[in-house]
A and B are shown apart, each in its own frame.
Chain A
Amino acid sequence: MSLDSSILKGRNERGAVIALVAMALIVVVILIAFVIEYGYLIIVKHEGQAAVDAAALSAVAGIPAYNLNGNTINSQILAERFNQTWSGPGQTSAVTVDENTVMHSSAAITFNTDVEFIKRQSSGGYTQNPPYTEADGVKVVRTYQVPPLFGKVLGALSTDVTVEAHAFVNGPRCFPVESPIVLLSPSCGNTNLSVSNCTTARCNMDFDVSFSNPIPDDNAAFWAPAGSSGSAQECSDLVSGAALNIYLCVGDQIKLSNSVASSCMHEMKQECLKNRCQEDIQWKVTVPVVSCANLRDASGDYVASAAVTGFARVGITRVDDQSSPTSLRLTTTCGDSVAGAPSGGGFCGFYASPFLE
């Protein structure tokens, strides 16, 4: 090639840089569009995950109704209630729940298509659609169609983003109970019974409970099965173990009364002595927990019965049957194996609470 032709060629390359820049720009713009598109999908997936988590945690609260008679309506309402600004039925004032949104519109989780009941397996995993009496969780799966932001130019169709959440009820739901005492939930002052109690730091913590009237002003009570007389004899039978095979499940209705406090506490004291309970020797019992929010009706009056919301495993270390009101010193217990518990294993089961897995 002569120098002449080289120079001529140089003259012909005028504008080549612009063409190169234009082509590079197109490639860069396509790459940017792809990254934005992908980033948007990640955000939508994140939004969707938050929405199905909330729906699953809510829906699982309706499990007791499903366990009792296969009734799914509670779970349905609880799963779908964050799909729209909800005005509760029978509400005279405008009490609303904000909806959860995905892509700036309702999360649109539908019970019949997106939610199913499941049962945890001891080996890990879960089984789908177990008999209703055995369900202890829900699975929520929702697919969102994400329209393309830039792909429309190329005629791209929407992309499916699927999110999934599994929520279970914390701890076994039924227990053989061994004591006539019932604890009121953390919001009544028993903060040691909080949902996060299954941490080592919260184990073996002492707390006092007392038994006075009216019950909602205190943090513990005596209980008796619904329909029973709630007599001192029944209380004594529970203490001594004469009342055998008393199983309670989450959702069971129990009677609460402290009118038997003095006589029953005396029985408790005797049993405590038999078990040699003291500061370092615990008399371990499984007791039901109820929510104190359930102990007052809409007008604020005391109601003498409530549904069991969970269980606590506690160690009794002191019984005071002389003071007024009578009281117990309890210690939180973690990691105990409880006979008769459906899971069969160790538990630090407190306040039945939904959790995600």
Chain B
Amino acid sequence: MLHLRKIDPPVRRDRAGNKGVALLELCLITPLFLLLLAGLVQIALTMLTAYNLVAAASEGARVASALPILVVDDSRVRDFIMPKIALSNMYSNIQITNTIPISDGAVVNKDGLDCSRSVSVTVTLRVLMPFQAIFGYPFMEMSRSLSMRYLQQPLCP
């Protein structure tokens, strides 16, 4: 008991001196962690969006390449692709555009006719970015195109 009484006061003093330190440290570290977290979420969102864009452009080009009588920015392509964009409610201002089959003269078949017309589909969208939002630029616009040979044309003998 005597022994304990001897060391009691310093322990109490130490505890009293540390009061609020943890809170202070938490306050200091929390913004950094939130920044790190926002950065992580942004990287994940960017990668996820890039993946979704490639998938949408790829699928769009496949659909556009098989549609007869394709027109510029064909609503059939848009209507087909729009519901297939994963997590589309995360994005705003989604635009799906396509070219008409372009005759570029790359391959002319034995009848002298172009058989290499191609179509391009571009998907553009805006995604909310938490890290950028801290600095006042909440949205990032991302875009992806894919070109494919138009299938509704003869092969190239």
Taking Cβ atoms with an 8 Å cutoff, the residues of A that contact B are 3-4, 7, 21, 32, 36, 39-40, 42-43, 46-47, 49-50, 53-54, 57-58, 61-65, 68, 74, 77-78, 81-82, 86-91, 95-100, 169, 185-187, 191, 194-196, 250-253, 290-291, 293-294, 297, 303, 305-307, 309, 352-354
Contact = CB atoms under 8 A, between A and B. Distances in A.
B148 A57 contact: yes
Interface string B88-107: 00000000000000111111
A251 B157 contact: yes
Interface residues of B, number: 50
B128 interface: no
A58 B148 contact: yes
A240 to B, nearest CB: 30
Contacts of B110: 65, 251, 253, 307
Given A53-B58, A61-B156, A191-B68, 16 more contacts: A3-B4, A7-B7, A21-B29, A50-B57, A57-B149, A57-B151, A61-B155, A65-B110, A77-B106, A82-B118, A88-B104, A97-B104, A196-B66, A291-B153, A305-B111, A353-B66
B106 A86 contact: yes
B124 interface: no
A57 B65 contact: yes
Interface of B: 3-4, 7, 10-11, 29, 40, 43-44, 47, 50-51, 54-55, 57-58, 61-62, 65-66, 68-69, 102-107, 109-116, 118, 120, 145-149, 151-157
Residue from the set A62, A68, A169 with the largest chain B CB neighbour count within 10 Å: A62
Contact of A64 (B112, B145, B156): B156
B107 A62 contact: yes
10 contacts: A3-B4, A21-B29, A49-B58, A50-B61, A58-B116, A78-B149, A91-B104, A100-B145, A186-B152, A250-B155
